[in-house]
A = this chain, B = another copy of it.
Amino acid sequence: MTEQHDKTGAPPGTVIYLGEAQTNRVKITLIEYNETEFIEKDFYDWSECVKLVKPDMVRWINVDGIHEATLVEAIGKHFNIHPLTLEDVVNTGQRPKFEDYENYVVSIMKMINYNDELSSEQLSVILMEGTVLSFQEADGGDAFNLIRSRIRLGKGRIRKMGADYLSYALIDAVVDCYFNVLERIGDKIETLEEKLITSPSKETMQQLHYMKREMIFLRKAVWPMRELINNMERSETLLIKPSTDVYLRDIHDHTVRVIDTVETYRDLLSGMMDIYLSSVSNKMNEIMKVLTIITTLFVPVTFIAGVYGMNFKYMPELETKSGYYIIWIVMLAIISSLLIYFRRKKWL
């Protein structure tokens, strides 16, 4: 939950990785393609990668791991990226945003994963003339694997289109992830709702609170996405061709749907809190009512028993032979009439 920003006073544009410590090696994947050719290579060393690049193809350099600041700086220097952009790329506490520097445009966003709990990693997509750079915190491969295989197999229109379409495809994959996550959360909400009504417990309440928190954080990741796409659509950059506009509009719609769903879930969760409280209080009331009724049934008859336990010398009832049986009848009659009264009042 805590924001990572431990650089007070450090000169702006300093490229310092601020995420959690990372030990695995940074992997660089280079993919180059045009309609006819396709090259794919993995590197662990930037210097090798640079040598390879070929002209006249769409180049996609994907960097899995941003904890090696020197590597990011080297790449940045090679492609003439502004230091502030590099700072944003490695600073994992970034807010999703789109920025237009003349020679490139950069989109920074959050990839969401949901395995029992919500985790996010930062993705930065830098679009240059003919080249797309993507930086991920860890290997968020699943989503991108599908794009990779589409490129490999030449399926769809991706091989026929330029770098701008590729960067669109990457962002689209991220938004699609949101839908998957929301679907799972939706299922969880439904399960939780049932539990709340049938068997409300402290655990369901905590789970509810936990989901509310998740929605708060999801919202924080999703809302700026709309702005990002908006800025992308309205940007005057020449790197995004007009033919890609219709695809951006499509992502825009998807983002709005994601936001709608997040807001709907927030509303649902709020309503569920009320239901939880009401269920708990109903259950408690039921218990207290039954317990109190039991007590109330026995109080008057205990009093009567007490009366005939008194040691007065002269108590005529005590002398009669049937007194004891009569008193039993009286006491049972009291209990019965109370029960009937309670049942009529629908308290039982």
Q: Within the complex, which residue of B179, B282, B287 is in contact with A289, where a contact is CB–CB below 8 Å?
A: B287
Any chain B CB within 8 A of the CB of A305?
A: yes
Pair A183/B5 contact, Cβ less than 8 Å: yes
Report the count of interface residues on A (CB-CB < 8 A).
Answer: 120
**Stretch from A37-45, A54-62, A170-178, A233-241 contacting the other chain:** A170-178
In the complex with contacts A179-B3, A273-B274, A311-B314 CB distance below 8 A: no
- Within the assembled complex, what's the spacing in Å between the Cα atoms of A306 and B310? 7
Closest to A267 in B: B216
Chain B residue numbers with a CB within 8 Å of A82 are: 246
Q: Among residues 65 to 99 in chain A, which have CB atoms less than 8 Å away from a CB atom of chain B?
A: 82, 84, 88, 93-95, 97, 99
- Neighbouring B residues of A314 by C-beta, 8 Å: 320-324
- Interface membership of A35, Cβ < 8 A: no
| Interface contact B8-A180, CB-CB below 8 Å | yes
CB contacts (< 8 Å) of A189 on chain B: these are 1
List residues of chain B with CB within 8 A of the CB of A145: 9
Residues of B within 8 A of A288 (CB): 288-289, 292
Whether the pair A186, B1 counts as a contact (CB closer than 8 A) is: yes
Candidates B12, B169, B183; contact of A3 at CB < 8 Å = B183
Which residues of A, 303-333, contact B by the 8 Å Cβ criterion? 303, 305-315, 317-324, 327-328, 331
Mostly, the A contact residues are helix
Of A116-124, A125-133, A253-261, the one touching chain B = A253-261
CB nearest neighbor in B for A316: B324
> With the chains together, A31 CA to B246 CA distance in Å?
32
Q: How far is the CA of A306 from the CA of B3 in the complex (A)?
A: 66
Contacts of A173 in B (CB 8 A): 8-9
The docked-state distance in angstroms from the alpha carbon of A267 to that of B306 is 57
Q: Which residue of B lies closest to A317 (CB)?
A: B312
Q: How far is the CA of A144 from the CA of B9 in the complex (A)?
A: 7
Q: Are B311 and A310 within 8 A (Cβ)?
A: yes
Q: Are A294 and B296 closer than 8 Å at their CB atoms?
A: yes
Query: Of all chain B residues, which has the CB nearest A282?
Result: B202
CA–CA, A303 and B332, complex, Å = 12
Whether A312 lies near B323 (C-beta < 8 A) is yes
Residues from chain B with Cβ under 8 Å of A3 in the complex: 179, 182-183, 186, 257, 261
Q: Is the CB of B308 within 8 A of A271?
A: no
Q: Are B301 and A217 in touch, CB under 8 angstroms? A: no
Q: Does A152 contact B (CB under 8 A)?
A: no
In the complex, A291 Cα to B338 Cα: how many Å? 10
Question: Chain B residues near A340 (CB, 8 Å)?
Answer: none
Q: In the complex, are the beta carbons of A183 and B2 less than 8 A apart?
A: yes
Decide yes or no whether A49 CB sits under 8 A from chain B.
Answer: no
**Bound: A158/B11 CA distance, A:** 8
Offer 28 A-B interface pairs, CB within 8 angstroms, sorted by A.
Answer: A1-B190, A2-B187, A3-B179, A3-B182, A5-B180, A5-B254, A11-B150, A12-B247, A94-B257, A95-B253, A205-B278, A206-B275, A209-B271, A292-B292, A298-B302, A299-B299, A301-B303, A302-B302, A302-B303, A302-B306, A305-B310, A309-B310, A310-B311, A311-B311, A313-B318, A313-B319, A314-B323, A314-B324
